[in-house]
Structure 1
Amino acid sequence: MSKKVHVRIQAGALCGAMEEISEQTVEIGENLTYENLLDILGINDGTVIVLNEGNAVPLDGIISSDKLTVMRVVSGG
């Protein structure tokens, strides 16, 4: 059985506002991890954090929501 997950991909903070890069709906199998989802999306898991209702989730956790945000990590020095 599969389910659909709506994924919003965001990056960087410009004056405190997040920039939305893309938004898509992905059909996934059951018991998929957040790391599996990033693989499907072609996103390097070392460059993002995944948020479920605004809270960071462990990449090895099973996807439990139908709406997620993938936030690209931006750092500088």
Structure 2
Amino acid sequence: MNVTESLEFQSIEAIKQCVKSGLGISLVPYFSVKEELESMKLKGEIIPQHHSSISTYLTYHKDKWLSPSIVRMIELIQNHAENW
């Protein structure tokens, strides 16, 4: 499957409601949909770890001042993200 369009929500409930309404599919932790799967309100598939791929993005405004703490956090993320 190749994803061409995506939306991002901060709320698992919002994601579940969109999927229930037929607006698409989602990759979420099992524990967050366990009840809906057991009551057959949602249908799911287990994705084996070697097939899952989740991207992590770090964004910040290029023209804004960054505190030394934020600069250090960005450096840590960049150094360690290679192993994620």
Q: TM over 0.5: same fold? A: no
TM-score relative to the length of structure 1 = 0.20
More contact order relative to length (CA 8 Å, sep ≥ 6): 1
Q: Which has the higher strand share?
A: 1
TM-score relative to the length of structure 2 = 0.20
Q: Which has the higher helix share?
A: 2
Structure number with greater Rg is: 2
